[in-house]
Amino acid sequence: MLYNNKSMQHKHDHHDHCHSNCQNIAHNHEHSPHETCCAQVTTTNCGSDTHTTTQTNEFDDPPDDPDRSTENQKLTWKIQGMDCAHCAQKIENALKTLPNVNQIKITFATEKLIVFVPHKDQETIKLIEDKVTELGYKPILELSSQHSHQHEHSHGFDKKALIPITVLGGLIVISYIILLINQNIGEYAFIITAIIGLVPIVKEAIMLTRSGTPFAIETLMSISAIGALFIGAAEEATMVIFLFMIGEMLEGIATSKAKTGISSLVELMPDETVIIIDGKRHTVASHTLKAGDIIEISSGGRLPADVILISEQASIDESALTGESIPVNYICGDKILAGSLVVDTTIQFKAISEAGQNAVDRILQLIEDAEERKAPIERFIDKFSRYYTPSIAIFALFVIVIPPLLMHADWYTWFYRGLTLLLIGCPCALVISTPAVVTSALSSAAKQGVLIKGGAALERIGAIKMIAFDKTGTLTAGKPQVTDIIQHEITKEQLLAIVAAIESGSHHPLAKAIIDYAQQNQIDFVEANNRKAIAGVGIQGDIEQQTFYIVSPNKVTNVSSPIADNDLQSIHELESAGKTVVVVVTEQQLLGIIALQDVLRSDAIPAIKDLHHLGLQTVMLTGDNQRAAEAIANTLDIDYRAELLPADKLLEIEKINAVTPIAMVGDGINDSPALKAATVGIAMGSGSDVALETADAALTKNSLLSLPKLIRLTRFANRNIKQNITIALGIKLIFLVTSLLGITGLWLAVLADSGTTAIVTANALRVLRFRK
C-alpha cells in the first residue's frame, strides 16, 4: 500500500493477541508483525506455570569476526592493575616486540587486552602472559568471548600500594633526624634512602625501554633522580621519588573511580539463573543461557538476558540502564532489557538474546570499541604525545649543555634545571585527558538510556546545530487510527469490507489500521483476488469480477475519473487537520474517503521545546502529504519537508549537512541512508543490532526526552575535554618556563606532573556524575 506517505513504517505495530491465552492485551513490540509475536511465545502459556521448552544449556563459540582473516585467532585477557591509558600504551608497545602477534587491542576502561595470533597454543599464551607480568600487571585469560563481561571487576583502592610509600616515608623521616644530629651521616642516609626508592623505578624503566617505551615517566624519573644524586642534591632526589610514588597512587585512585561506571554495568549481570526445563527448575550459570530458554526471576533479582515476559504482568525497575527511577509495568509479550530488576513477585521470562549479546554486553562492547572510534582531538593528542616527550628530553639536554659551553654559565645550575625539565616531559596527563572523559561520558549516557558509539560520535553530537526527525514512529506513536469515513452509494460497512478485503495480509501501518478497524466493527470480508501494488500510486484488487483501487487523492486520475469539487474540499479539510487520506475508487467513480491520523508521541512537544531552548533548529522529514505534515509541524513548532521519498530524505540531509552540522533521528532501518549521510545518526528503539550498526547513537529508552539529555551530556563532555587539555598543557607550559628560570625545582616538577594527571582524571569524573 503506497499512498502518499511513503516513509510510513510498521515498526511500532500493536496487536490484539500475543497468544491464545493472552487475548485483548496491547503490546509494544519493536518491529515485529503479529506472526513474529506469536512465534515468540508459542512454547509458553501466559499466566501459566507449564512450559514445554526443551532448550539445552550448551552453546558453541561464536564464529570469528568476518572482517578478520581466518588465520587470526583471538585471545582475550582481563589485565589487573592497568589503571590508565598510559599503562595500556606500555603493554601495547611491549607486546609489539613479540613474535606471532598480528594485532593488539587494549581498552583500559574495561581492563581488556585482545591479541590476534596465527594459532592458539600454550606457548604463545605463556609468552604474552609472561611479558604482561614482567611489566607489573596480572593477566587473566578469558576462555570464551561469551564470558567476557562476566568476570568480577574490582576497582577499589589496593592498600598494598601504601607499603612502599610508608617505608620510604619512614626512611625519609629517619634520614632527616640523622641529618639534624650529624650532617655528613645524614647526607649518606638520604643517598641510601634515594637508592632504595630508585631501585624498583629503575628496574621498571629498564624493562620498559627494552619493551619499546624508552620515554616513560619511570625513565625520566630515574635520570632526574640519579642526576640529582650526582650533583649532591640527595634530599631533593629522595623527595622527588617520594612525591612520584604518592602521585602514582593518587592517579590510580582517580582512574579507578572513573571506571566505577563501567564496573557497575558489569555487576548488573547475575552469576546464576533459575531455568525451567520440562517443568523442573535448575540453577545454571547465567552465561550458559540461550535464546528460547525459559527462566524464572524472583523479586529483587536481575535479568541475565534480554527477555520477553511470559507471565501476565510484571513491575520492572530499569533505572540502572535507562535512568528512569519509577518502575515500569510490563505485560505478557513485552520485551525487557538485561540488567533490569524485578520489583514484585517471582516472574517467568523467555530469553531472546544469546550469551554475550544482551543489552549490557552491547553497552560494554560499545565502550570497548570506543578506542577504535577516537575523537579527532584524541587522535591528535595521541600523535602529539609521541613527539612531545622526546622533544622535551632533547630540549633538556640543550639546556644542560648550551649555557655552560656557550655562555660560560654554572654547570650545576643548568644541569639541575635540565633535570627538572625532564620531569615535565611525561605526557601522562595529556594522554589521559580525553579518553577518561570519553569513558565517563559513554558510561553516564548508558545509565540515562543512550548508547553512543565512541569519542568521534560524542564530539560530533556535541557540535550539531540542527536535528532532523522522521515522522512516523519518531515524532508520532506509529499507530494510525481511522478517524473519518465518507461513503458514496454504498454503506460504511460495505466500504470497509472492500478495503479490508484488498488490504488483507498487508503489513503497512495504514492498511493494518483499517483492517483492525473493520475487525473491531465485526465486519466480515474475504480476501480479494488479483491483489497487487501499483508503484507510486496505491493498491488494487478484484471482488466479484470488479476491480477496486485504494490510492492517495492526488493519484486518483491514474486509475479513475477526477474527484468532484465537494469531495476535494472534504479531503482538503481532513488533510489540513493533520490526517492522512486515502480514497476508494473504481475505474468510473469514487466510492469512499477514509481518513487516518497518527497521534503525536506524548514526549514530542516537551522534547522539541527543550531542544529549542538549547538553541537547536529542528525539521521534520516525512513522506506524508503537505497539509498533514504542516498540521503536525505547526503543533510542534518545527520546520518540515513533506512528500519525500527515502531518496529525497537523503538529498535533503546532504543539502543541510553541507551548510550546518545536522543529526538525523529515525528508526535506524528504513531511514538508514539519511542516518548515514547526517553528521550524526541517532536511532530510536531498544538498541537493536540494525539500529546500532546504522546510527552513531541509540535511544534505548525509546523516548525523545533522552535527546536533550544527550545534547547536554555531549556538550558538557566536550567542554570537559577542552578543560582537561588546557589544564594539562597549561601546567606543563607554566612549569617549563619556571623551571627554565630556576623558580621551581625537582620536587615541584614531579608534584605538578602527577598532580595534573590526578586533576584531569578527577575532572573527568564530573562527566560520570552528570545529570543536567
Of the candidates 178, 174, 172, the one whose C-alpha atom is nearest the C-alpha of residue 237 is 172
DSSP-derived secondary structure for 637-677: T-EEE-S--HHHHHHHHHHHHTTS-EEEEE-SSTTHHHHHH
For residue 33, the SS3 value is coil
Q: Where are the alpha helices (DSSP H) in 408-539?
A: 411-423, 428-433, 435-447, 454-463, 492-503, 509-520
CB count within 10 Å of CB 221 equals 27
What's the rounded Cα separation, in Å, for the pair 311 and 46?
A: 5
Q: Alpha-carbon dihedral of residues 668, 669, 674, 676, nearest 10 degrees?
A: 70
What's the rounded Cα separation, in Å, for the pair 743 and 213?
A: 31
Q: What is the 3-state secondary structure (H, E, C) of 718-769?
A: HHHHHHHHHHHHHHHHHHHHHHHCCCCCHHHHHHHHHHHHHHHHHHHHHHHC
What's the rounded Cα separation, in Å, for the pair 523 and 454?
A: 53
CB count within 10 Å of CB 666 equals 32
In angstroms, the first-to-last Cα distance of the chain is 44
For residue 29, the SS3 value is coil
Give the single-character DSSP code of 473: I
- Give the strand order in the sheet containing 112-117: 103-107, 112-117, 73-80, 138-142
- The answer to whether residues 497 and 523 touch, using CB atoms and an 8 Å cutoff, is yes
Catalytic residue among 334, 470, 624, 753: 470
What's the rounded Cα separation, in Å, for the pair 505 and 120?
A: 52
What's the rounded Cα separation, in Å, for the pair 205 and 214?
A: 8
The Cα diameter of the chain in Å comes to: 119
What's the rounded Cα separation, in Å, for the pair 439 and 680?
A: 19
CB count within 10 Å of CB 287 equals 21
What's the rounded Cα separation, in Å, for the pair 108 and 85?
A: 6
- Side-chain half-sphere exposure of 89, counting CA atoms within 13 A: 18
Helix (H) or strand (E) holding 539: strand 538-543
What's the rounded Cα separation, in Å, for the pair 541 and 533?
A: 9
Of the candidates 158, 173, 161, 162, the one whose C-alpha atom is nearest the C-alpha of residue 239 is 173
What's the rounded Cα separation, in Å, for the pair 87 and 248?
A: 12
In the structure grid, which three cell numbers stand for residue 670, read together? 528504513
| Residues written for the chain | 772
- Does 369 participate in catalysis according to the annotation? no
| 481: phi then psi, degrees, rounded to nearest 5 | -125, 145
For residue 46, the SS3 value is coil
- At a CB cut-off of 8 Å and minimum separation 6, what does 763 contact? 437, 720, 723, 724, 727
In the structure grid, which three cell numbers stand for residue 86, read together? 598510559
For residue 451, the SS3 value is strand
- The answer to whether residues 240 and 164 touch, using CB atoms and an 8 Å cutoff, is no
- The answer to whether residues 702 and 686 touch, using CB atoms and an 8 Å cutoff, is yes
- The answer to whether residues 189 and 179 touch, using CB atoms and an 8 Å cutoff, is yes
Active-site amino acid positions: 470
